[in-house]
Every structure is written in structure tokens, then in C-alpha cells.
Chain A
Amino acid sequence: MSNSPDADRPEISDLVVAYDPETTERVDVRKDAVLKELKQHGMPRAARIVEAWPEHKGVLDRDFVDGVLLRSHLEMQRLSEEFQQGARLARVLAPVVSAVRKAIAGTSRRIRIVDVGCGLGYVTRWLAVNGELGDDVDLVGCDYNMALLAEAKRLARMEGLRCAFLVRNAFTLDELDPVSGRAITPLGKPPPATIFTSTGVVHHFRGKSLHTFFTEQARTGAFAFVHCDIKRSWVAPIGAWMFHYARMREPLARYDGTLSAVRAHATDALFDATLDIRGEFRLTSFDGQRELVPILKVMQAFVGVRRELVDDIDRAIPSSLRRRFSPWTA
């Protein structure tokens, strides 16, 4: 299934915040630049939403934008709750964690699950509460948005959860932070065996950046990744519109939520984007198969693992779920 032209339209949330990729520092976003881009993509309704936002000397008000994003993410957490995203990820993650644990047995390495673009860290926090992943597993959520991360930390602290949230590029955790000079990996410890995860993030990466998204994970030496996202289908935009208009209040949440289903990558496109890492990783999808009436399988998980782990993962997958995984790439 090829992407429609609408799939390349940006989401509002992709345009209204920007960060320096080197330092993760927030940079100013000019309102007229956002409006121009939205109009160029033929998105007048999105432009009207941003038009109403306050600005200072042409720059979007950061506090206002953060407030909108925070409220939108809280509303979108409802989608995660109603779709049971934590449990969905956990059932795919469990055999992967089991295989990684076996691979590092006998060493002092721990397992680290890194939630890329975690936002409010719902899935990370859910796993901390319900994941039953074991004491040797550390949960880390990464995002560039400080307001969302601060709320994620507040919520984790409030509930006494064992998980961490970092304003940092998720793919540089084992390197010294260029700004603070601090190490994330505790001193004297070997780097943990990392598994990258995300929920509803992959569709934000388009074209070359999607390839980079996967090659960066391989570069870090990660053992595996499990990325969950909306499954592309003809019914997904209808369902997304229905859900977001019934459940969301923020215009941004409604608009971006509906558009995200249009922008969802076809499973084949995800496989194509991993050609550069096929030498090290084997890939599969969970619920990624095409269906005539895809009303039950609205989410899919895209899984990549180091080649040597595949047999152990296969053995760890419960028989009830096995048929929902596609065959591993060669």
C-alpha cells in the first residue's frame, strides 16, 4: 500500500516546536513560518488553529505551546489507555526481553528499555507498574520536550515508579552529554543491553529520516527494537477521526490525531527503511499483515532484533501469538 499525498502533510505538533539536534536546546519557532508551511501543504484548518495562538515579536509563545501540547498529550494518553497500549507493547516485548536476558546471562549488564519520544511516558510508566519485566530491567523515557518530561517525572514520582525520564536524544544515552558533560550510564558499569521502543512515533519520521531512525538504533549497539504505531489501512483514518472527535477536546489533538492515521507507514515501507541494517538485524511485524476489513488490528508493532537472538525469541513467543508475527526477514 503506497502512501497517499496527504501522508506527507506535517502534523501541527511537528511544526510548532523545534530543537537543536546537537544540544537538544529548544529554538524559537516563527508563527508566520508555521502558517506558511501549513498553507503550502493545503492545510487551512490547521493554519486556523495555529493562527489563534499568541506570539511575541513573531515567535510562538512557548508557554502557550507547551500548555497545548501538555493538554493534548493528556488527552491522547486516553487513547493509549483505551487501546491498552502498555499491555500491547508488553506482550511483544516479553519474548524480546527474555532473549536479551539470555544473551547477557553471566555478565553484569542490565537491560535498558528506552522509550523514544515518550511524551508523558505513559507506556514507560505503565510498564513500571504492570510490566513484570524483572529487577534487571531499567526503564528510561526520552523526549526533547521539557514540559512533557517534567510532567512525566511528576507523575512517576507521585506514583513511586522505578523509571527515568531524560531530555535527551535517545540514541546517545551511552555517550557523555555534550551540554552537561554528564554520563547517563552509571560510572564503572558496562553499558546496558538496550531495547528501543516507541508508541505512535514512527510515523513522524518520513523519507530519509525514517532510514536514519533505524540505522541510529543499530549504531548504538542496541539489541532490539519494538516500535508500535497505527497500522495503515483504509479504515484507519475513519476510525481515528471517530475516536479523536468523540474523545479529544484540544483542536490540535483532534487534528494531529486524525492526520496521524493518514500518515501511518505501510508495513512494507517500514521493512524497506531497514535495508541498511539487515546485515545485523532480522525484522518482523506483529499484526502487520494486510486484512480485507482491518477493524480489529488497528495497531502494529515493528520488531527488529540482532540476528543471534531470533531463535530464542521464537522459542519465547507464546503459541497463541505466533501466527500474528510475520516471517522474519532473511
Chain B
Amino acid sequence: MDRMIPFLMIGLVLLDCALAGIRAGYGRDGRIHKNDLSLRCALRGMLFGAFVCAALGILTGIVVTRSAHGPDIYQSLLSIGIRMQIVFVGFSMVVLPSVALFTVCRHEYRTLATVAILGPLTIARPFVIIAATAWGLTASQHFEATLLTLVASAAVLFTGWYLDKAFATLTAWTHPKPAAVSEEDAADDGVVQVEIDEQIDLHHFAPRDIPSVVEEYLREALGRGFVEVRLIHGRGKGVQRQRVQRILANHPHVVAFRSDGLGSTIATLRPPKAEYPARR
């Protein structure tokens, strides 16, 4: 049983760090599809947890081997560990089913799980660590064991804080700053706004609307005095191209048109006198 205690403690630290990693990573990535995010954040958290465990293991090893009371200090650490694990395992027994409930449930029950269970558990976490440490230390009989326990607890306690800072730095490196946003970029929605210039991309319109859009576009283009315009209809089977070119062929102010072979038709317009006032 004594041999199991360090491994169980390492397991609990890794679990806590995995959850801390998820907490630190969420709320920074606005994508809709991010199924891999939880796993990635959990792994980063666990990696950090493994580093903490290794560092604490080395520190404990040095203290135990260098001290004249090494075996006694180790026994004292095991006694502390047993008490702390009683608290941590009990806490985990509440956290893990809650996480499972949150993962499985939908809508109202999921909301209940996150607000009424996981939220309070997150807030309670540091207090649980402090309480477990305090109870564990009542079993300590050596100053070195007390000190090592306090260092270990502090390391775990600050894992969340450290991961949070680390993820924030990572996000700052990979995320564009708001200050870099230009007005042009913000105003360019790129989907439904129509700005009249010498070309129009017909991909944004439903096929049934193409004739009226082309008619209206030609009207606006002529009103602006454009002599040559490009209508982008795409390549595909050529249905859209034929539809566009049929309109051009019948239009009184289109002098000529030609396909460019790249999914566009270029039309040459005859400037009107005054019958095409622009809307603007």
C-alpha cells in the first residue's frame, strides 16, 4: 500500500493539471469546430503536471537521501499523503461524475451541471487543496516533511494560475491584436454587400436571381461610365456562363463579350447618353 501512495498522488496531480489545462485553454479560441481543444489543453496541462511531479520527486529524493532521518521523513510524507489522498479522492469522486454528466447531458441539464456543480467545484478547488494540506500536516513529525508538503501543495495550487498565464502568452503570440484591425477589413463583410466596380462575382447570388442581378449590375455599370466589365460566373458545366452570356447577347448596350477561359465573361459596353442613372 505504501508503494501505491506516491503513484496515486502523481495520478491525482496529473488529473488536476489536465482539468486546469482545460480551464486555462477555454475562452481563448472562438472557433466553432474545436473538438481537439479539450484534448490538447488537457495534454498540455498533464505535461506541466508531469514536470511538477518530476521536480518534486527529485527534491524529495535529495532531501530524503541527504538527511540523517531520511526513512523517517519518507514515512512522515506517506502519512501526510494518506490523509491528503482521502480528501482528494473524495473530491475527485464528485468532480469526475460531474464532468461525465456535463459531457453527456444537453441543454438544461448541461447548464445545471456547469453552473450548479462544476462552477462551485472550480471555486472550491483551492480551498480543498488548503484543507487537505492542513489535515495532512497534522500527521507530520519532521520539519522537512512539512516543508516538502507545503512546497508540493503550493506547486499544485499555482498550477491553474501558471497555466492560465502560459495560455494567455501563447494566445497573444498566435492571435492578431485588435489594434491591427483596419476599418477596411472590418467593413468588408465579403458576402452580401454589393459594391459596384468593374467586376461582379455572381457566386454570391442564387442561380434564379442571376438574370435580375446581371441586368441591375449592367445598369449601374453603364451609369458609372464603365466601358468594360468582368462578370465572374465560375467554370463548372457552363450553365451559369450560358445564362449570363444570353443576357449579354440580348442587351442593347453590350457591344461584345468574350469568355476568358477562367470562369469569367468580359463584356464591352457602349456608354449610354443619360438613360442609366446610377442609384448612388
Contact = CB atoms under 8 A, between A and B. Distances in A.
Interface residues of A, number: 69
Contact of B110 (A74, A82, A152): A82
The 7 A-B residue pairs whose C-beta atoms are closest, nearest first, are A188-B216, A164-B191, A188-B212, A146-B186, A75-B27, A147-B178, A187-B216
A164 B28 contact: no
Contact of B30 (A63, A122, A129, A146): A122
A164 B179 contact: no
A288 to B, nearest CB: 14
Contacts of B109: 296
A320 B108 CA distance: 14
A208 interface: no
A20 interface: no
Contacts of A299: 111
Given A129-B32, A187-B279, A296-B111, 14 more contacts: A88-B107, A120-B30, A122-B32, A163-B191, A164-B189, A164-B193, A167-B187, A180-B187, A187-B216, A187-B217, A189-B205, A247-B26, A249-B164, A298-B111
23 contacts: A63-B179, A66-B178, A70-B178, A74-B28, A77-B30, A129-B33, A138-B192, A140-B192, A146-B181, A147-B178, A147-B186, A150-B186, A155-B32, A167-B186, A176-B280, A181-B280, A186-B209, A186-B213, A187-B220, A187-B279, A239-B115, A248-B27, A296-B112
A243 B189 contact: no
B106 interface: yes
Contacts of B178: 63, 66-67, 70, 147, 150-151
Interface in A163-208: 163-167, 176, 180-189
* Chain B interface size, under 10 / 10 to 19 / 20 to 34 / 35 or more: 35 or more
Contact of B32 (A126, A136, A184, A249): A126
Contacts of A135: 206
A307 interface: no
B72 interface: no
A248 to B, nearest CB: 7
A155 B29 CA distance: 9
Interface of A: 63, 66-67, 70, 74-78, 82-84, 87-88, 108, 110, 120, 122, 125-126, 129-130, 135-136, 138, 140, 146-147, 149-155, 157-159, 161-167, 176, 180-189, 239, 242-243, 245-249, 295-299
B24 to A, nearest CB: 9
Interface stretch (B82-90, B117-125, B129-137): B117-125
B116 A159 contact: no
Contacts, number: 168
A150 B216 contact: no
Contacts of B116: 239, 242, 295
Contact of A189 (B112, B181, B209): B209
Interface string B1-17: 00000000000000000
Contact of B106 (A84, A122, A161, A249): A84
B32 to A, nearest CB: 5
Given A88-B107, A150-B181, A189-B209, A246 B33 contact: no
A189 B205 CA distance: 9
Q: Which of A126, A153, A163, A188 has the most CB of B within 10 A?
A: A188
